[in-house]
Amino acid sequence: MPTIGQGVLEIRIRDTSGAYRVIYVAKFSNAIYVLHCFQKKAQKTSRLDLDLAESRYRELLKESGK
């Protein structure tokens, strides 16, 4: 998901109760960081969900010194 940041990926899950997304980054050697997970209620991912994942990604970069 380059709209959030370099190396950010998503997992899409569908089951009988709906569609879900997990936004994560795995480019750091020590861990996989889940930035945000949520149930999709509409076709388009809301700006609020994308902004939250992006702000968490920026905070992670700041903490890691990258």
Q: How far apart are CA 2 and CA 21, in angstroms?
A: 16
Q: What is the rounded average pLDDT of the residues 28-50?
A: 92
pTM exceeds 0.85, yes or no: yes
Give the model confidence (pLDDT) of 2-33 as tens digits.
Answer: 889 999 999 999 999 999 999 999 988 889 99
- pLDDT at residue 66 is higher than 80: no
